[in-house]
């Protein structure tokens, strides 16, 4: 049970099948926190076991009831930072950023600086407030290690209109992914609900009763050990493409969280990088209604990875390997 109060969040958890876990690990999994965050809560007397205090190393028992209080985040102003951004489109109403891998999108515990939002505020100029105090302008998000195109609203009207377009699925987002192995067919549709993994709250999983999640996966090219896939999002759940591909037995190359991290050297990927890139975006302009279509070439690390697995000498001379392989030879409205 969870109580979201203005003064923080309180939750109660019965250990059950997780008996024997360290208290810090149990709290991290139960509350979708990092282990460090859980240990900090325990050290700060914000966690009790059967009404009393225990240390982080305490081994839980099946009948233990763990109460967790997560204090509200401290009031923080977003610090403007001079961080270069690749802006691929901008006008008075919105901008589209080509986010690099490794950049967190918005400030949160453990990432109060160095985020895309810090960089946006550092640029100056208007940003819509509809996304919340720590998410000004954001219409959607990308995972930290996912690169590519991301939409930012400058005005309240643009934010409302773009958010409604996203909900109505008139914003088309198409991703390039390398997955291990080979899809069973050239085109695969996955319609499987997603929610937090009940066994590990840091992950997402296919869970009956979870939020509707639909992805269309189209093989663009088949190589010895991997497929290059065009992934069309019909919904925008956390880790959606990564979980759906993993559910087929073909996880994203380099994805340590969902089983694709092995063979990183074969795929010439750096540590903590997975091959997922928001490469293609089509959206109606929030004011004029004009159709905007934007593309992002593979960043250098993913380009090197694709060349390593493809082993096609002519490909390395093409300015955009995705284009050369026919990735954009489709209508994003009709995957």
Signed CA dihedral, 9, 200, 118, 44: sign only: positive
Closest of 188, 183, 252, 244 to residue 213, by C-alpha: 244
Architecture of domain 86-167 in CATH? 2-Layer Sandwich (3.30)
Q: Which residue has the higher pLDDT, 134 or 314?
A: 314
Is CATH 3.30.420.10 the classification given to domain 2-70? Answer: no
- How many residues make up the chain in this entry? 335
Average pLDDT over residues 66-93: 86
172 φψ region: left (φ > 0), alpha (ψ -120 to 50), beta (else): beta
Based on the number of CB atoms within 10 Å of its own CB, is 229 exposed (0-12), middle (13-18) or buried (19 or more)? buried
Which pLDDT score, from 0 to 100, does residue 4 have?
46
Which pLDDT score, from 0 to 100, does residue 314 have?
87
State pLDDT tens for residues 143-194. Answer: 999 999 999 999 999 999 999 999 999 999 999 999 999 999 999 999 999 9
The token duo for 252 is 């994203």
State pLDDT tens for residues 262-314. Answer: 898 999 999 999 999 999 999 999 999 999 999 999 999 999 999 999 999 88
What are the start-end ranges of the H helices in the chain? 23-31, 35-43, 116-123, 156-167, 240-247, 300-310, 321-324
Q: What CATH fold (topology level) applies to the domain 172-280+307-324?
A: Pseudouridine synthase (3.30.2350)
| Nearby residues of 225 by Cβ (< 8 Å), 6 or more positions away | 180, 181, 263, 266, 309
DSSP states of 152-186:
EESSHHHHHHHHHHHHTT-SEEEEEEEEES--SSS
State pLDDT tens for residues 17-61. Answer: 889 999 999 998 888 787 888 899 999 999 999 999 999 999 999
Alpha-carbon span 324 to 288, nearest angstrom = 33
Domain boundaries for CATH 3.10.290.10 within the chain = 2-70
Closest of 306, 333, 311, 308 to residue 322, by C-alpha: 306
Sheet with 65-70: strands ordered across = 2-5, 8-14, 65-70, 47-49
Distance of CA 226 to the CA centre of its chain: 22
Max CA pair span of the chain: 67
Which pLDDT score, from 0 to 100, does residue 5 have?
46
Distance of CA 168 to the CA centre of its chain: 20
Which pLDDT score, from 0 to 100, does residue 330 have?
82
Residue found under tokens 């960043």: 299
pLDDT-above-90 percentage for the chain: 75
Catalytic, out of 64, 143, 227, 255: 143
pTM comes to: 0.79
Domain boundaries for CATH 3.30.2350.10 within the chain = 86-167, 172-280+307-324
Active site residue 3: no
């Amino acid at each position: 049970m969870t109580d979201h109060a203005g003064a923080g969040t309180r939750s109660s958890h019965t250990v059950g099948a997780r008996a024997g876990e360290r208290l810090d690990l149990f709290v991290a999994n139960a509350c979708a926190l990092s282990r460090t965050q859980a240990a900090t809560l325990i050290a700060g007397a914000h966690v009790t076991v059967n009404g009393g205090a225990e240390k982080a190393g305490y081994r839980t028992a099946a009948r233990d009831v763990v109460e967790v209080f997560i204090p509200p985040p401290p009031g923080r102003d977003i610090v403007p930072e001079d961080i270069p951004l690749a802006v691929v489109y901008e006008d008075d109403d919105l901008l589209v950023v080509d986010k690099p891998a490794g950049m967190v999108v918005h400030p949160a515990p453990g990432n109060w600086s160095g985020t895309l939002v810090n960089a946006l505020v550092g640029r100056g100029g208007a940003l819509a407030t509809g996304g919340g105090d720590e998410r000004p302008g954001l219409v959607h998000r990308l995972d930290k290690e996912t690169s590519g195109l991301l939409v930012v609203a400058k005005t309240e009207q643009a934010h409302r209109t773009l958010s409604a377009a996203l909900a109505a699925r008139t914003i088309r987002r198409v991703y390039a992914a390398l997955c291990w192995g080979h899809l069973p067919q050239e085109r695969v549709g996955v319609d499987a609900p997603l929610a937090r993994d009940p066994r590990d709250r840091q992950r997402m999983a296919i869970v009956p009763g979870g939020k509707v999640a639909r992805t269309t996966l189209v093989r663009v090219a088949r190589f010895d050990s991997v497929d290059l896939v065009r992934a069309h999002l019909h919904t925008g759940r956390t880790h959606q493409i990564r979980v759906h591909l993993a559910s087929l037995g073909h996880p994203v190359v380099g994805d340590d969280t969902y089983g694709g991290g092995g063979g990183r050297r074969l795929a010439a990927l750096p540590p903590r990088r997975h091959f997922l890139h928001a490469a293609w975006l089509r959206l109606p302009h929030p004011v004029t209604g004009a159709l905007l279509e934007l593309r992002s070439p593979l960043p250098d690390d993913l380009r090197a990875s694709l060349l390593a697995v493809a082993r096609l000498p002519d490909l390395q001379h093409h300015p955009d390997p995705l284009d050369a392989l026919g990735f954009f030879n489709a209508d994003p409205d009709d995957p």
